[in-house]
Amino acid sequence: MTKEILPVDCVIFGGGVAGLFILHKCLALGHSAVLLESKSLGTGQTIDSQGIIHGGLKYAITGHNENSATAIREMPLVWRRCLAGEATPDLSNVTLRSDFCHVWRTDSLRSKLGWFAAKLALRTKPKVLDQDELPEAFHGLQGPVARLDEQVVEPRSLLEVLSHELDTNLIQTADGGVEVSKLDEGWLVQLLHPETGDPLDLHAKKVVLSAGKGNVQLRDEFNLTPNKTQDRPLHMVMVRGDLPVINGHCIDGAKTRVTITTTKDYAGRSVWQVGGQLAEDGVNKTPEELMSFAAKELQAVLPNVNLDHAECITYKTTRAEQHMRGIRPTDISIIEENEVLTCWPTKLAFAPRLADEVVARMDPPSINDSTELSIFSSWPSPTVALSPWETDQPWSPIELTCSL
Ligand SMILES: Cc1cc2nc3c(=O)[nH]c(=O)nc-3n(C[C@H](O)[C@H](O)[C@H](O)COP(=O)(O)OP(=O)(O)OC[C@H]3O[C@@H](n4cnc5c(N)ncnc54)[C@H](O)[C@@H]3O)c2cc1C
């Protein structure tokens, strides 16, 4: 007996911010689409990220030219409309960490140069604050503090909102439960139900790989050209305690010396995620060395903040991108081969732009009976990954790390 094969316009592998935006866009345009997730939604980069909707500050201060900053400049407005519920996907239920960022600098000549570059190239230009407008945490700084209209989202909340009510399109896969093979047109994707072991075959006209780090293995399984990916690792620091809310960047020369974002943990404590140059340099440090370095850096860039009773911890993560000889890409990347689109948003902020570009490369939607996808209602849907500060790891008092 011939087994039934379910035709779909698109099968997406990987449910981080990129895959979820692509799924939304596909469904909004009438494509039949399913997203396969092998772990929890956002595992890897999205859940580890700082949630800043960049408008190009980082590109501007590193002296990238106008062209490379153009695409990112549009993103804050695109997101602002979704976050206000004025455009799709409706993200009005996403928790905002902040409606804006602060930018401040250490007072060196190098620092001034980066600052001027940023002011020239940005669409949302930093507005320098007067003394009486400064939050207490920024008192005592030598250089100016500016406010920048870049919103900061809570990544876990974003993943929850994007995956809400998409159960029949979001499919949890099991280890060894997915096989793919090329058909004359499109791909055969054979799935095994993670609980019952029942098989289900899909005929996908287009396959999208948006699996972050997982794209390497998937590209191998789809027999695509090797060595098209790169990882750029980061070693991030988290600080928790009675901390002021800070979301923004301290600029030093052509570098973001630290980027700090603030959230709350399950117990209501404030948690800072600390990235930027510190996390790049931290890759070659042990957690103890990095915590000690971070304590000194934080005292240097925020002298008025008392960290005496704070605790800290580090986490290692990586940025997964198209291969660019280790250099940071400045825009989204899509490689199209054999009816497979391998995608990297490069930044969370670029996810809407990536989704637009992906659907622009798809054929018009088939006239499929979308109720056929209801077959997936008996399949488990993936949960959202846990934020890095909620994992069960021991935190260290910051005063101890300082004395190392
Ligand atoms: C520490 C850090 C901070 C950052 N901060 C910012 C920021 O403030 N602003 C910004 O714009 N960008 C930021 N970024 C970049 C941003 O996080 C990423 O560009 C973006 O999240 C990538 O999303 P993604 O969906 O492509 O990948 P991911 O979020 O990595 O998601 C990949 C998904 O694919 C799944 N998967 C893996 N293998 C398979 C498989 N075989 N089958 C099915 N599913 C699979 C994973 O489980 C995961 O759910 C940051 C990145 C890092 C690491």
Using CA atoms, how far residue 112 sits from 115, 117, 118, 250, 320, in Å, is 5, 9, 10, 12, 31
Q: How many residues does the structure list for the chain?
A: 404
Q: What is the pLDDT of residue 106?
A: 79
Binned at pLDDT 50, 70 and 90, residue 176 comes out as very high
Task: Determine which helix (DSSP H) or strand (DSSP E) holds 13, and give its type and residue range.
Answer: strand 5-13
> 79 in the Ramachandran plot: left (φ > 0), alpha (ψ -120 to 50) or beta?
alpha
Q: Which of 32-46, 311-325, 363-377 bottoms out in mean pLDDT, i.e. has the lowest?
A: 363-377
Ligand 1 neighbourhood includes 348 CB (under 6 angstroms):
yes
Q: Is the pLDDT higher at 144 or at 358?
A: 358
CB 226 within 8 A of CB 16: no
57-83 as b/e: b if 16+ CB within 10 A: bbbbbbebeeebbebbbbbbebbbebb
Is residue 180 assigned to a domain?
A: no
Q: Is 262 in the pocket of ligand 1 (CB under 6 A)?
A: no
pLDDT for residue 70:
75
Instruction: Report yes or no: 176 and 190 within 8 Å, Cβ to Cβ.
Output: no
Query: Which residue, among 234, 211, 232, has the nearest Cα to 222 in the 3D structure?
Result: 211
Query: Quick check: is 108 in a domain?
Result: yes
Q: Ligand 1 atom closest to Cα of 42? A: 49
Strand segments (E) across 350-404 = 396-397
User: Rounded distance, CA 365 to CA 205, Å?
Assistant: 10
Which of 174, 270, 188 minimizes the C-alpha distance to 222?
188
Q: Is residue 199 part of a domain?
A: no
Reported confidence tier of residue 1, pLDDT bands at 50, 70, 90: very low
What is the C-alpha separation between 33 and 354, in angstroms, rounded? 16
Instruction: For residues 42 and 49, give the distance between their C-alpha atoms in angstroms, rounded to a whole number.
Output: 10
Residue 256 near ligand 1, beta carbon < 6 Å: no
**Residues 6+ away with beta carbon under 8 Å from 190:** 178, 179, 180, 181, 199, 200, 201, 202
Q: DSSP letters along 188-237, please?
A: EEEEE-TTT--EEEEEEEEEEE--GGGHHHHHHHTT--SS-EEEEEEEEE
Q: Is 46 touching ligand 1 by the criterion CB < 6 Å?
A: yes
Render pLDDT for 145-157 as a digit per residue (tens, 0 to 9).
989 999 999 999 9
* Mean pLDDT (whole number) for 116-138: 79
CA dihedral 85, 89, 95, 97 (to 10 degrees): -90
55 CA distance to ligand 1 middle (Å): 19
Residue 105, domain member (yes or no): yes
**280 in a domain, yes or no?**
yes
Domain count, the chain: 1
Whether the per-residue pLDDT at 255 is higher than 90: the answer is no
Distance between CA 117 and CA 107 in Å, rounded?
15
257 lies in some domain = yes
pLDDT of residue 81: 98
- CATH code for position 249: 3.30.9
Q: Is the CB of 13 under 6 A from ligand 1?
A: yes
Has residue 112 got a pLDDT over 80?
Answer: no
277 within domain boundaries: yes
Neighbours of 197 (CB within 10 A): 9
Domain of residue 264, residue span: 101-150+230-320+393-402
Q: Which range (19-28, 199-208, 228-237, 248-257) has the least confidence?
A: 248-257
**What pTM was estimated for this model as a whole?**
0.96
Which residue of 74, 222, 340, 348 sits with most ligand 1 atoms within 8 Å of its CB, as the best mutation to test the pocket?
A: 348
> For ligand 1, is residue 18 a contact (CB within 6 Å)?
yes
DSSP 8-state symbol, 354:
H
- Residue 121 placed within a domain: yes
